[in-house]
Amino acid sequence: LRHLLSLDGLSSDLIIDILDTAEQHDKLLAGPEKKLGTLSGRTVINLFFEPSTRTRTTFELAAKRLSADVLNLQVAASSTSKGETLFDTLKTLEAMQADMFVIRHESSGAAHFFAEHAAPGVAILNAGDGRHAHPTQGLLDLFTIRRYKSLPGEATRDCFSRLSVAIVGDVLHSRVARSGIHGLRILGCQDIRVVAPPTLVPVGIKEMGVSVHHDLEAGLDGVDVVMLLRLQKERMLGAFLPSLGEFHRDYGLTRARLAKLKPEAIVMHPGPINRGVEIEGDVAYGPRSLILQQVSHGIAIRMAVMSLILGRDNGERR
Ligand code: CP
């Protein structure tokens, strides 16, 4: 693995390897000594052109746990605000001997652009590009599902083929949904349902191997995992169809709707949540919710990805 731009095209063996490596890191993080020397002497630069709480901080923490030197470019205060291009920004930071860039950008394809122009030995990790992909979110979601839905004694890749997963909400704007669908499909999940109003379903989504439901009750019938998505108001230019109130009425996960799910069904959300829109606050922090576990797993997953790409065992990169 040279870069991580998307889960699309990765092998199931590689994804399982990342999840298994993350399990080891997660065990380490639960103990008193949380640090490894894997990336000692390496430099990781976080370049976030869009806001982030979870992804940016867990990438930073993961890199620090691996002993890398970490820089966070303050994009608003950087020379990009004076018109410096992405290419020139990349080349300038490469000149400081950066080994890895973690990039979030509003444009789909921005991480691919960086990967295309990165110097040999420099790795690019996509931390979310437009509506396209959010691969480490997809991986941490797979990690969470496997951890909570595997049966005792089951092989580490076997749970996905027997699970039904509903992805509910603003699929149209969601890079999380795309990465989740790719990851679930690669690991053998047969029943992936997209549940959303017609206005929030992208054209051609069925070609990704999912079924589409516009009725929430039917879409959630018998599912093992409910993955809620945030209504991405910032990408809707003020036009909400349906309105936030209508969306909550027809698709919001309330306590009453939660009670109708299978008792062992789990609730996930990548965050940040719109309280009272796609999920009630009580449900978000209730016993069936794994939202905060997803955040914690993000550290182990990002450690795994960075160490597999840049770790000492991966050979000399410079
Ligand atoms: N899930 C996610 O990408 O959250 P942030 O935008 O806070 O990073």
Helix (H) or strand (E) holding 102, with range, is strand 100-105
Judge if the upstream peptide bond of residue 272 is cis by omega within 30 degrees of 0: yes
**What is the 295 CA–ligand 1 centroid distance (Å)?**
9
List, for residues 279-312, the tens digit of each pLDDT value: 999 999 999 999 999 999 999 999 999 999 998 5
List, for residues 32-68, the tens digit of each pLDDT value: 999 999 999 999 999 999 999 999 999 999 999 999 9
Does 206 belong to an annotated binding site?
Answer: no
Q: Which two tokens stand for residue 220?
A: 């959630």
Does 178 belong to an annotated binding site?
Answer: no
Determine if ligand 1 sits within 6 Å of the CB of residue 137.
yes
Is there a shared CATH topology between the 12-133+295-314 domain and the 135-294 domain? yes
318 pLDDT more than 70: no
Residues 197-221, mean pLDDT to the nearest whole number:
96
| DSSP for residue 104 | E
Q: Specify the pLDDT at position 42.
A: 97
Pick from 55, 228, 233 the residue to mutate for probing ligand 1's pocket: most ligand atoms within 8 Å of its CB. Answer: 55
135-294, CATH topology level? Rossmann fold (3.40.50)
Asked if 106 and 127 count as a contact pair (C-beta separation under 8 A), the reply is no
pLDDT bracket for residue 155 (50, 70, 90): confident
Does 157 belong to an annotated binding site?
Answer: no
Domain ranges of the chain: 12-133+295-314, 135-294
199 pLDDT more than 80: yes
Region for 206 from its dihedrals, namely left if φ exceeds 0, alpha if ψ lies in -120 to 50, beta otherwise:
alpha
Does 175 belong to an annotated binding site?
Answer: yes
Residue type, 119: A
Atom of ligand 1 nearest to the CA of 128: 3
Supply the ipTM of this predicted assembly. Answer: 0.98
| Pairs from 198-205 (Cβ < 8 Å, separation ≥ 24) | 199/172, 199/241, 199/242, 200/169, 200/170, 200/171, 200/172, 200/173, 201/171, 201/172, 202/131, 202/171, 202/172, 205/171
274 pLDDT more than 60: yes
Atom of ligand 1 nearest to the CA of 298: 1
With a CB cutoff of 8 Å and minimum separation 6, the contacts of 137 are 55, 128, 175, 176, 179, 180, 270, 298
Indicate the burial class of 249 (C-beta count within 10 angstroms; 0-12, 13-18, 19 or more). exposed
What SS3 state is found at 217?
helix
Q: How many other C-beta atoms lie within 10 A of the C-beta of residue 240?
A: 16
Q: How far is CA 234 from CA 40, 161, 239, in A?
A: 38, 35, 10
12-133+295-314, CATH topology level? Rossmann fold (3.40.50)
Q: Specify the pLDDT at position 240.
A: 67
Q: Specify the pLDDT at position 239.
A: 65
